[in-house]
Structure 1
Amino acid sequence: MIAAIGLLVAAAVLGFAAPHWLGRLAAPHRHPRVALAAWLTSQALFVGVVAAVPLVLWVRPGDRWHLLPASTLSCVAALRENGTVPWLLAVEAALWAVGLLLAGRIVLVVSRGLRRHRRVTEEHASVLRLVGRRDPADGDDVVHLVGPGVAAYSIGGRSPAIVLGTGVVDLEPPTRAAVLAHERAHLRGRHHLLVAWADSLRAAVPAVPLARVGATWVRVLVELSADRQAAASCGPSAVCAALERWHDEPGGSRPVPTPAAGFVEDRVVWLSGLRDPRRGARALDYPLALTLSALPVLGTVPVVVAALAAYCAMLGA
């Protein structure tokens, strides 16, 4: 039970406190993939820690594998058997119920959301095959649609595609190449699936800031990451030109509005603050994100376990 309480406290720290420092990772001088990886890793850790609570109560690793000191194990066993703490069994049952119900809801809602995302994407791809036309010069994954304005978006799934409106086709070659590079970055990074995961987790636990706020951050960060990758291949000026041209178009030309879509000026500022990081610094991006995500769990669980073990020893004295 001690380990289960430690995990539950760690889940609370991740769910309610982590957004305060994860939001600080987003800065123009830092690649957006650091913040994106940190948010996604923290969300995955939150789900894993919640699921581990009923598992730990069932397996009892402290008893089975002697992960806790023998004195602590004997103390907990004595309290459970002699009834010194009458509410001990009630706490265990409550922890089991909360962990099992929360983990079950997350699995059910997220799986439904991902299945719905896949179904909608496949239906969208089927419609594009019927109404769109392809230009061999742009590649087999590019579909052209007749319509006004600078419209461009991509869809993932089994048949990934980039959709270009008439306005994009008529852009200057560098700007048009930047638009294609941006959308291909979305496809390479599987950003559509990441957004679907974040939206599904928000639907499962909307009261948890890590899921509720994280869904918005993931949408913003995938756009910033695609901007940064497009700038690396086509140059920041071409990406800025595409953003400014897109921003000047009427609102009806924007088929898939996102939180990042409403902040084109901020995206241009991010690109203007672009720095070319050293290769060693780029190699540390994902380890840094993983460390920042795992640190709350690695720091909270031992502290809570030690405090509960000391409290148990005090009661048994």
Structure 2
Amino acid sequence: MILATALLLGAVVVGWWGPRVIGGLGPTTAIVCWPAAMAGITVSALAGVLLLVLPGHGPAGAITHVLHHCVSTVGHTNLPELDPAVAALSLAVAATVLVRIAASAARTARRQDAMRRPHLTALRILRPASNGTIPTLWIDHERPMAYSLGGRDRLIVATRSLVDRLSPEQLRAVLAHERAHLRGHHHQLVAVADTIAKALGFIPLMRHAPGVLRLQVELAADRAAVQECGLDAVRSALLALTAQPSPPGALAMASGDIAVRLRNLGRTAAGPRALRRVVAGFMAVLAVALPAIAAFVLLSAVSVLACPLLPSAG
């Protein structure tokens, strides 16, 4: 039982203190590391539950014996009567969490489908000009707005008043920003974070994920638009557009913390793109492994504390 407990505690440690570690990362790294840490917590917790439920705790005994023979001394062999109760409680908690996630995902999917359907209907009727492989639906509205809808039928929605309010360079920057959201699958990322946060909001890493990722995907889309259209065009477009409410599940150019985004516009990513991707990938793997690393540290600490520092003489 000691290995399962260590895995569960590792998930708890990362879930509560992970935001302090991951929160200061740049947009590209944060976008991959935050979901990776969420996945690591989930895998670690499920592994702990499985080790509690499996007969003989699966490979737990062999692993703990390799780490230190004293771990088995303070492990589940001394308290066998607790095993069924702990396993049943863990299964009940895991089942409750899975049901909550499934219900939250179903509600999110229904809400986004209901919101996307009228846009797609208008798109088929009006047949607007496509922007590459991503269609743009132009609608008549007095407010200058632009937002994107992800999913299988992805599209950009923009109001015709944008043409009157913005210069051609600014308009191009706005559309480039929205295309970056769609190409980066930012909508799906935020939707998954929203779903998990609603089910596991008592864990800080899960609770803060939607807000953090919404800001990070805006920073990443701003950076992509700067690379395509230039810094001045993106900055002036942000200043020209005021924050407007967007449909649920949509990502809009004039959303997020505009002040933070303006401050970050001039910050370019260090190093070549290939190197940045390698670093981001390494950090993502490390984030996934964080709960297991924390479990190993806890298990090692128990091993050291459980054994005498020196062997007894005789």
Q: TM-score higher than 0.5 here?
A: yes
2:30 paired residue number:
35
1:296 paired residue number:
290
Alignment partner of 1:61 is 2:58? yes
Amino acid aligned to 1:67 = I
2:238 paired residue number:
243
Q: Please say if residues 134 and 156 of structure 2, whose CA atoms lie closer than 8 Å, have aligned partners that are also in contact.
A: no
Q: Deviations over 1:206-255 (max 9, x none)?
A: 111111111100111111111111111111111111111113xxx6x543
Q: Please say if residues 39 and 288 of structure 2, whose CA atoms lie closer than 8 Å, have aligned partners that are also in contact.
A: no
Q: Please say if residues 187 and 251 of structure 2, whose CA atoms lie closer than 8 Å, have aligned partners that are also in contact.
A: no
SS at match of 2:63: coil
Q: Map 1:93-132 to 2 at 5 A.
A: 93-98=88-93, 100-101=94-95, 103-116=97-110, 119-120=113-114, 122-129=116-123
1:79 paired residue number:
78
Displacement of 1:135 in angstroms is 2.9
Amino acid aligned to 1:25 = L
Amino acid aligned to 1:157 = G
Displacement of 1:198 in angstroms is 0.8
Q: Distance in 2 between matches of 1:219 and 1:117?
A: 18
Amino acid aligned to 2:159 = G
Tell me how many residue pairs correspond in the alignment.
300
Q: Distance in 2 between matches of 1:74 and 1:272?
A: 56
Alignment partner of 1:306 is 2:305? no
CA separation of 1:227 and 1:265: change in aligned 2, threshold 3 A: same
RMSD: 3.1
Q: Distance in 1 between matches of 2:131 and 2:301?
A: 66
Q: Map 1:226-305 to 2 at 5 A.
A: 226-247=221-242, 254-256=245-247, 261-275=255-269, 277-279=271-273, 281-305=275-299
SS at match of 2:268: coil
2:18 paired residue number:
18
Displacement of 1:294 in angstroms is 3.4
Unaligned runs of 5+ in 1: 27-31
Amino acid aligned to 1:243 = L
SS at match of 2:241: helix
Q: Deviations over 1:180-229 (max 9, x none)?
A: 11111111111111111111111101111111111100111111111111
Q: Distance in 2 between matches of 1:218 and 1:77?
A: 40
Q: Which has the higher helix share?
A: 1
Q: Match for 1:149 among 143, 149, 154?
A: 143
Moved more, 10-19 or 282-291: 282-291
